[in-house]
Amino acid sequence: MSSRAAEHLSSSEGFFGALPLLERERDAFDVTRFRPAPDDWALAVTDIVDSTGAVARGRHKTVNFVAAMGIAGLRNLCAPTRIPFLFGGDGAVVMVPPSKVGAARAELARVRGQSRRDFDLVLRVGLVTVETLRRFDCDVLVGRFEPTPGNSFGIFLGGGVRVLEDAVRGRGNAELGRLAAIPDALDDGEPVDLEGLSCRWDTLHSSQGTMLTMIVRGNADLREIYCEVLRLAGPEAEIRPVSLNTLRARWPPTGFMLEARARRRGGSLLAWTARVLAETLLARVVLACGKPIGGFDPQRYRSEIVTNTDFCMHDETLCFVIDCPLAAVDAIKMYLADAASTRGLRYGIHLSDTALMTCLVTAPADSLHVHFVDGGGGGYTSASKSLKV
């Protein structure tokens, strides 16, 4: 490798960590803070087949967990390089640096295989370089949403995510779908490194009235839509789906078997289940105590969870969950219906008493942990099926 090529590779690897910060959700609409992704980075997407059916069969938590597996696996693969990722309820979007593109293809094959073997879910996966994607009349612009230091999420504009997702689902460009395809032969049966992935918190119950899951899609001013919905719903601090009022720990956690299956690396499932139960019991005791132990402060950790939750936006699509007062629901629906008729907007809404949270915890004592939220009873999956014109 020439010195010039090596210098470019080094510069490219640090792309995401060098992006301007988007510290608040409202900042995510400032396109001046987005940057074109380097040609040699790759975009990966995952999507669960028939997630609607799985949710209807009572497997919503499993759907969310498997969707987050792609993020956890690729994030651990690429560490310590910081990478952008986005959680979509029944799938994910992740970018990987050039030095990990080949390994990422194999890791995605393993994620797909493990999803089928351990969780009986069929997962579509695909990956192409940004350079390849740009040949299909789209782009990938990346923003770094970082609500607290070191805890970043990716936000994507330019159409590349939508184009790749359609191709991987078999309803877009067939050539791109072929280029993004990942052979089953790359799955060697080795377990994916899912260290940090868990779902140990209890179901989040609405404290305001209802958990409102919303998907908005179109060329309208999404910032205006977002701000107006929040204005109608009430004070922003009170409508977060994760709050100190909704955050409850329980033991055993409802997702302990998901974590045991995901983390199993040799040995019996029973042994891994016992290990997860022991770890979660210890964590429950520490949280209940509420006093710092070593470098871990339970009260600080709870407060950080409230702010370290994801914000999902890509291309012309905005997805979010709010804890919404019942009195505001009709006003929000009327506003969106008017926006749909006058601006060609499409939207989907799902209401539930609850929301679910899946966690990716790197180093809680160092405040490094992020959390993915989906509305209960179907959440994003149900909202996407009810998109209205």
Give the amino acid at 332: I
pLDDT mean over 169-181: 97
pLDDT mean over 328-336: 96
Check: CB of residue 82 under 8 Å from CB of residue 310: no
Instruction: Report how far residue 362's alpha carbon sits from residue 196's, in angstroms, rounded to the nearest whole number.
Output: 6
Position 3 scores a pLDDT of: 43
pLDDT score of 1 more than 70: no
Least reliable range by pLDDT among 141-145, 222-226, 294-298: 294-298
% residues pLDDT > 70 (the chain): 97
pLDDT mean over 242-246: 89
Q: Domain locations in the chain?
A: 14-246+300-385
pLDDT mean over 36-44: 98
pLDDT score of 290 more than 90: no
Instruction: Report how far residue 242's alpha carbon sits from residue 207's, in angstroms, rounded to the nearest whole number.
Output: 10
**Element housing 25 (H / E):** none
Instruction: Report how far residue 101's alpha carbon sits from residue 128's, in angstroms, rounded to the nearest whole number.
Output: 9
pLDDT band at 4 (very low <50, low <70, confident <90, very high): very low
Instruction: Retrieve residue 35's tokens.
Output: 């940057």
Check: CB of residue 213 under 8 Å from CB of residue 350: yes
Using alpha carbons, select from 52, 19, 27, 186 the residue that is nearest to residue 111.
186
β-strands 204-205, 317-325 pairing: unpaired
Distance spanning both ends of the chain, measured CA to CA: 52
Instruction: Report how far residue 70's alpha carbon sits from residue 93's, in angstroms, rounded to the nearest whole number.
Output: 8
Instruction: Report how far residue 259's alpha carbon sits from residue 273's, in angstroms, rounded to the nearest whole number.
Output: 8
| Beta-bridge partner residues of 313 | 318
pLDDT band at 292 (very low <50, low <70, confident <90, very high): confident
Instruction: Retrieve residue 109's tokens.
Output: 């094959």
Max distance between CA atoms of the chain, in angstroms, equals 64
Crossing angle of the two packed helices 60-78 and 101-119, in degrees rounded to 10 = 150
| pTM, entire model | 0.93
DSSP 8-state secondary structure symbol assigned to residue 27: G
Check: CB of residue 348 under 8 Å from CB of residue 389: no
Using alpha carbons, select from 170, 39, 150 the residue that is nearest to residue 95.
39
Instruction: Report how far residue 201's alpha carbon sits from residue 251's, in angstroms, rounded to the nearest whole number.
Output: 9
Q: Which residue, chain included where needed, has tokens 């990938």?
A: 140
DSSP labels, 246-271: T--B-SS-TTHHHHHHHH--SS-HHH
Return the number of other C-beta atoms located less than 10 Å from residue 52's C-beta: 15
Instruction: Report how far residue 162's alpha carbon sits from residue 137's, in angstroms, rounded to the nearest whole number.
Output: 12
pLDDT mean over 339-368: 93
Q: What is the mean pLDDT of the chain?
A: 92
Per residue in 85-105, pLDDT tens? 999 999 999 999 999 999 999
Least reliable range by pLDDT among 85-94, 98-107, 151-160, 257-266: 257-266
Instruction: Retrieve residue 90's tokens.
Output: 């029944």
DSSP labels, 360-389: EEEEGGGTEEEEEEEEGGGHHHHHHHT-B-
DSSP 8-state secondary structure symbol assigned to residue 192: P
Per residue in 48-68, pLDDT tens? 999 999 999 999 999 999 999
pLDDT mean over 195-223: 92
pLDDT mean over 167-190: 97
pLDDT score of 5 more than 80: no
| Beta-bridge partner residues of 363 | 368
Position 263 scores a pLDDT of: 86
Half-sphere exposure of 352 (CA within 13 A, CB side): 24
Check: CB of residue 176 under 8 Å from CB of residue 164: yes
pLDDT mean over 108-117: 97
